[in-house]
Chain A
Amino acid sequence: MAVLLSDEHRMIQAMVREFATRELLPIAADLDQHSQFPREAVERAADLGLLGMTVPEDYGGAGMDPLAYVVAQEELARACAGFQTIVTVNNSLVCEPILRWGSEAQKQRYLPDLASGRRLGCYCLTEPSAGSDAMSLRTTAALRDGQWRLSGTKVFVTNGAEADLCLVYARSEPEAGARGLSAFLVEKSFPGLSVGKIEKKLGIRCSSTTEIVLDDCRVPGENLLGERGQGGRIALATLDGGRIGIAAQALGIARACLEETAAYVQQRQQFGKAIGEFQAVRWALADMATRLEAARLLTYRAAALRGGGRPCTREAATAKLFASETAMWAAHKAVQLFGGYGYTQDYPVERYFRDAKITEIYEGTSEIQRLVISRHLLARS
């Protein structure tokens, strides 16, 4: 795998691995237990340049390519998937669309703060009745006297409790579906925005997931992101990058499962020998490693395409689908091989099992990924 990575990629990998080992591994179980936002670790990650990795240096970012981003995300998720969620949302769902669609003034105003951790971003697309069918969303945006007024409720917003800047999609045009949507950069302090219910979740518990309630929220005209009616396009294009970030998260979780299980089966004795001596156990490990490496290659390919500015919708969906199902499968195997201990919180695989599930759901469920992939296949034939 290393052959695909440059010296810089490998140095970033080593640095993030060291950061994750020092700062995240020791606290990951506690953060999960108490659903606690790791503020200090986020600040340190920001200082190292992990919050705006692909933002150019001119805007205060680290100016790295998507492959470096993937390598770093895997390392973060290896130690703490919830922490990686916080970071990947800021990077790929907030910084990236501003970079691609934002005006110069918007880039100057928001990117340096997002990249340095002075502000944290969140992404407000999903609504109670618009999940997989995101383009049916109902939040409204009306322009009055040069000011936008947004009304509606967003749900499942990662970083919702702590974020300072919300990328909000709303229906601004009479057209139905994607063409009627626009994207807005809404600061948390704008009047009419409030944080609603904070969800209690199965996994990735150190990142907050909340409602964002917009009650006639006033947004200055210049905070429209891109053009009017371009929101649907922005949302879909942004998801390509988002899916690569989640694929990388799944790689981290799957690797955690593999590494913890490999260590455990060498020391756990049953029937007079280490259970790693049994062929059934060895084959399970070999399968975990094989699927992990295949998932990593798919993810690297999607990232490399995106880095080269080439279309990667299908490849990102493929990577996300395969990596997330690999993570869930590997977590299932890991808990099984740990036996009763794997079901307890004394060992980390129980957390990996809970964390893995979300990767099959957010940024498009596995079913939606299959829809995207098959749509590309049928369009070509």
Chain B
Amino acid sequence: MDVVVCLKQVVDPELPVRDFAVDPGTQRQVREGRPLVISTYDENALEVALQLKDASGARVRVLTLGPQQAVSEAIRLALAMGADEAVVVDDPRAPELSGPEKARTLAAAIRRIGPADLILTGCESADWADRVVAPLLAEDLGAACVTFVSRIERWDGAPVVRRLVEDGHHLVEVRLPAVLSVTSDDSNRPRLPKVKDIMAAKRKPVHAWSPADLTRSSASDPGAGVEVRGVVVPERTSRCEFLTGEPADQVAALAQRLRDQKLL
């Protein structure tokens, strides 16, 4: 069984707000000088894949879009956690690509990697949160797609996955190949790499491909699909209002304010 996990490297979402900046030229988040990490849900996707590897000996490859220099840490971490090999599509423009463009490139890379039974992605990236890559990948590859999967319930026979929905979960039988977008859950908390696996990760294969090496599907090329007109950092303001009058009036006024804000 072959599993490909698509990993995106993003600026650490835990960074304080003051370190967040937008490049006015590209209208993208400034990445230089900021620590990059694997996007949150992608780590959950990797964990689901590694659990499948533990249970059934699946081969797990991770795939990411470059620039290679910037993704090496994420790749090393994924290999240390237990992935078998890595493919980097070394594209310096990667951070500026739209979701649909990324999906096409990833699909082309997956075709070149070879037949995969499962392709896993995070359900959304920690920066743009477009949520489009998994469905577009499935479309491009002619694969089934299930979104917001938390775990693989059954693998032998017809695979069954658990899909989280607002009021519970669905159990979905999937045909292969399939693209699953993974959300977080107690069952897929990313494991920590072991010390010896951190060392062993150095010896695992990392393939670097150029975007020119890949054949994108020509059918239904959506282009960028989106145009980013502007990105702004929301300004945080606070305002303090004193309610006056008798205590009973103040309470009534406060309750009304809270209702207006939909907090009650």
Contacts and interface: CB of A to CB of B under 8 A. Distances in A.
A61 B194 CA distance: 11
A303 to B, nearest CB: 16
Interface in A39-66: 47-50, 53, 57, 61-64
Given A7-B73, A7-B76, A15 B193 contact: yes
Given A8-B202, A11-B77, A53 B195 contact: yes
Given A8-B202, A11-B77, A50 B192 contact: no
B73 A64 contact: no
B236 interface: no
B198 A15 contact: yes
Contact of B194 (A18, A47, A68): A47
A192 B194 CA distance: 38
Please indicate which of the listed interface residues A11, A19, A50 has the most CB atoms of chain B within 10 Å of its own CB. A11
B86 to A, nearest CB: 15
Contacts of A48: 192, 194-195
Given A7-B76, A11-B76, A49 B202 contact: no
A62 B192 contact: no
Contacts of A50: 195
B82 to A, nearest CB: 13
A62 B76 contact: no
Interface in B169-226: 192-196, 198-199, 202
Contacts of B196: 49, 57, 61-63
A64 B198 CA distance: 10
Contacts of B77: 11
Nearest to A14: B77
A307 B80 CA distance: 23
A134 interface: no
A64 B73 CA distance: 19
A52 to B, nearest CB: 9
A297 interface: no
Interface in B66-112: 73, 76-77, 80
A15 B76 contact: no
B43 to A, nearest CB: 11
A8 B199 contact: yes
Contacts of B194: 47-49, 62
A12 B193 CA distance: 8
Interface residues of B, number: 12
A11 B202 contact: no
A49 B195 contact: yes
A12 B195 CA distance: 6
Interface string A1-15: 000000110011001
Contact of B199 (A19, A47, A64, A72): A64
A12 B80 CA distance: 10
Majority SS at the chain B contact face: helix
A: interface residue count bin: 10 to 19
B199 A18 contact: no
A247 to B, nearest CB: 20
A19 B192 contact: yes
Contacts of B195: 12, 15, 48-50, 53, 62, 64, 68, 72
Contact of A18 (B73, B76, B192, B198): B192
Given A62-B199, A63-B199, A64-B199, A11 B193 contact: yes
A11 B192 contact: no
Interface in A273-323: none
A18 B193 CA distance: 10
Nearest to A72: B195
Contacts of A62: 194-196, 199
Nearest to A51: B195
Nearest to A62: B195
Contacts of B76: 7, 11
Contacts of A7: 73, 76
Contacts of A72: 195
A276 B74 CA distance: 37
Contacts of A8: 198-199, 202
A343 B196 CA distance: 41
Nearest to A53: B195
B195 to A, nearest CB: 3
B181 to A, nearest CB: 25
Please indicate which of the listed interface residues B73, B77, B196, B202 has the most CB atoms of chain A within 10 Å of its own CB. B196
Contacts of A18: 192
Contacts of B80: 11
Given A7-B73, A15-B193, 7 more contacts: A7-B76, A11-B76, A15-B192, A19-B192, A48-B194, A49-B196, A53-B195
21 contacts: A11-B76, A11-B77, A11-B80, A11-B193, A12-B198, A15-B192, A19-B192, A47-B194, A48-B192, A48-B194, A48-B195, A49-B194, A49-B196, A50-B195, A57-B196, A62-B194, A62-B195, A62-B196, A62-B199, A63-B196, A64-B195
